[in-house]
Amino acid sequence: MQVEFIHRPGNTAATLLLAAGESCTTESGAMIAMSGQLDIETTTHKRGKGGLLKAAKRLFGGESFFLNHFTARSGPGEVLLGTALAGDMMDYTLDGDALLVQAGSFVACEQGVEIDTTWQGFKNLLSGESLFWLKLSGRGKVVLSSFGAIYPIEVDGEHIVDTGHIVAFQETLEFSLTKAGKSWLHSMLGGEGLVCKFKGRGTVWCQSHNPGSFGMSLRPTLKPRK
């Protein structure tokens, strides 16, 4: 599977080029367009792996319950993918290692990639972020999206990232939630709330904008829920 990006970084779309016989898995609702002859299947899990439980976990992770699978059975084909929010995309090739991905940033992956949802414990509850991260492991390419620009930070030692700005990080990094300021009160009043402290050696991919902050800025203009 080849991945090409177009219209970076503002309104990026990914083109997945599938050779005959290849297949890929995408987040539901991400497809913009595709070749006419591709086979489509919608399941609650990665083909042949996992089941309802995994799907239910994914739902809690803020991802959709369902995944779409595209297979190029009769000759090569392409799938164009986009996201709801404006922003960039990146690809990463897993080679036995694992990535932890912020809910909502997952776009697509190759056949050989395993998708699982990891429970990060109750500490995440406080952060207002999702309780789950998607864990992508195995072998193959993955495509992730961000809100705004995407930039990697090589961590060697310790580094702090606001929870809303994380796209993904390598599993080699250990992370803990902590307060941004000296006291809890200052942290909350400062609007930073909780931040992620990474320890170890590895890469964290960050997004320039926090989707939650953007959503909250729209809040006053949105019609209240009935």
Which of these ranges, 40-48, 92-100, 114-122, 180-188, lies near other proteins under the rule CB under 8 A?
Answer: 40-48
Q: How far apart are CA 59 and CA 117, in angstroms?
A: 9
User: For residue 164, which of 188, 144, 141, 193 has the smallest C-alpha distance?
Assistant: 193
Q: How far apart are CA 63 and CA 125, in angstroms?
A: 17
Q: How far apart are CA 143 and CA 110, in angstroms?
A: 9
Closer to other proteins by CB, 183 or 221: give it: 221
Which of these ranges, 124-132, 176-184, 187-195, 211-219, lies near other proteins under the rule CB under 8 A?
Answer: 211-219
Q: How far apart are CA 168 and CA 130, in angstroms?
A: 13
Nearest distance from C-beta of residue 119 to other proteins, angstroms: 22
Nearest distance from C-beta of residue 64 to other proteins, angstroms: 6
Query: Exactly one of 3, 12, 155, 159 binds other proteins (CB under 8 A); which one?
Result: 12
Query: Exactly one of 23, 35, 137, 208 binds other proteins (CB under 8 A); which one?
Result: 35
Residues in region 72-111 near other proteins by CB under 8 A: 80, 82-86
- Element containing residue 99 per DSSP (H, E): strand 89-102
User: For residue 171, which of 199, 149, 196 has the smallest C-alpha distance?
Assistant: 199
Q: How far apart are CA 202 and CA 182, in angstroms?
A: 26
CB 108 within 8 A of CB 24: yes
Q: How far apart are CA 16 and CA 3, in angstroms?
A: 5
Residues in region 164-183 near other proteins by CB under 8 A: none
Nearest distance from C-beta of residue 159 to other proteins, angstroms: 29
Nearest distance from C-beta of residue 204 to other proteins, angstroms: 24
Closer to other proteins by CB, 28 or 172: give it: 28
Nearest distance from C-beta of residue 5 to other proteins, angstroms: 10
Nearest distance from C-beta of residue 209 to other proteins, angstroms: 13
Residue 173: Cβ within 10 Å count: 18
Position 216 contacts other proteins (CB under 8 A):
yes
Binding site for other proteins (CB under 8 A): 4, 6-7, 10-13, 27-38, 40-42, 64-66, 68, 80, 82-86, 215-216, 218-219, 222-226
